[in-house]
Amino acid sequence: MPRRKSNPLTRKRLLKDPAFERSRENMADFARAGSANKLLRRALRPIIPLCADRYLSGRLTKRMAAIVYSDPAGSRGAQKITREALPILTGFNLNKAKYLQDAFYACYEVTADLDNGKIELYVPYLMASTMFNAPSSTHQVEVMACAASVDFDRQEIHYLETARQQFAVNDTAIRSVRLAIDVGKETTDPIIVLLGINYLTAVCDNKMAIIDKALNAMAVVKVFT
């Protein structure tokens, strides 16, 4: 019986052979998701060290791929990040070990007045002693709202703005909280809003330091397109 000739898979064959056209298309779309992942992580670089887990890049690439594959207009291999699909990011947690809903029990809403360049996180009812899942060594809890404007088509980052407020962990006062972020009027690109919870403990000279970033939580809570 004659022996079949082997046809080894080489880089040249993968890039040129018509039999691998579908593979090349999938690779192009996935590469676009990888680029979007890198761009967003670059935009969030000042806050990632506070809360992100070691697998953030892989998890975010997977979420970005879902956004790319949902592009209804692009053909396979030419799909891209669209404004309409960006809200798929909502609910994405930067720390897989600590989801936002497991750290913060209060209800909140995020609104935008983009004509005046304002984004607001509003918590109508907050009692710090019962609405944070804080470790026993916590003295202060910090609530941080962030807004990032990113142009995925041009691979540009316009800004990352933050607003934050701290509360004593044993505070039993009931209050409403407003965190206002001034984003300006310069950009019409999508704005990704995140909410984070950091736990702080007292050190020398009454300064506060993060206990352990693995305990902190942050998630995408709104995308304005």
Judgement on whether residues 85 and 111 belong to the same structural domain of the protein: no
The answer to whether residue 6 is domain-embedded is: no
- Alpha carbon distance 164, 216 (integer Å): 14
- Indicate the burial class of 22 (C-beta count within 10 angstroms; 0-12, 13-18, 19 or more): exposed
pLDDT tens for each residue of the chain, 225 residues long: 556 556 676 766 555 565 556 666 777 888 899 999 999 999 999 999 999 999 999 999 999 999 999 887 766 767 889 999 999 999 999 999 999 999 999 999 999 998 889 999 999 999 999 999 999 889 999 999 999 999 999 999 999 999 999 999 999 999 999 999 999 877 788 999 999 999 998 887 777 778 888 899 999 999 998
Pairing relationship of beta strands 140-151 and 118-127 according to DSSP bridges? unpaired
Pairing relationship of beta strands 118-127 and 109-113 according to DSSP bridges? antiparallel
The answer to whether residue 59 is domain-embedded is: yes
Task: Note down the domain range covering 152.
Answer: 100-224
The answer to whether residue 95 is domain-embedded is: no
Judgement on whether residues 120 and 207 belong to the same structural domain of the protein: yes
**In this predicted structure, what is the pLDDT of residue 78?**
72
State the number of CA atoms in the 13 A half-sphere of 144 facing the CB.
21
The answer to whether residue 151 is domain-embedded is: yes
Judgement on whether residues 145 and 196 belong to the same structural domain of the protein: yes
Residue 195's contacts (CB-CB under 8 Å, 6 or more residues apart) are: 100, 104, 108, 110, 121, 143, 144, 145, 146, 218, 219, 221
Residue after which a domain boundary falls, among 55, 70, 89? 89
Number of domains in the chain: 2
**In this predicted structure, what is the pLDDT of residue 214?**
87
Q: Is the pTM of this model over 0.75?
A: yes
**In this predicted structure, what is the pLDDT of residue 79?**
85
The answer to whether residue 106 is domain-embedded is: yes
The answer to whether residue 4 is domain-embedded is: no
**In this predicted structure, what is the pLDDT of residue 73?**
72
Judgement on whether residues 142 and 75 belong to the same structural domain of the protein: no
The answer to whether residue 94 is domain-embedded is: no
164 — alpha (psi -120 to 50), left (phi > 0) or beta? beta
Residue after which a domain boundary falls, among 55, 89, 123? 89
Judgement on whether residues 153 and 196 belong to the same structural domain of the protein: yes
Q: 29 with 67: CB under 8 angstroms?
A: no
The answer to whether residue 130 is domain-embedded is: yes
Question: Tokens at residue 59, please?
Answer: 């998890």
**In this predicted structure, what is the pLDDT of residue 75?**
66
Judgement on whether residues 149 and 208 belong to the same structural domain of the protein: yes
Judgement on whether residues 106 and 217 belong to the same structural domain of the protein: yes
Judgement on whether residues 134 and 183 belong to the same structural domain of the protein: yes
**In this predicted structure, what is the pLDDT of residue 24?**
65
Judgement on whether residues 153 and 199 belong to the same structural domain of the protein: yes
Residue after which a domain boundary falls, among 89, 111, 137? 89
Judgement on whether residues 163 and 124 belong to the same structural domain of the protein: yes
CATH number at residue 109: 2.60.40
Judgement on whether residues 74 and 161 belong to the same structural domain of the protein: no
Judgement on whether residues 167 and 193 belong to the same structural domain of the protein: yes
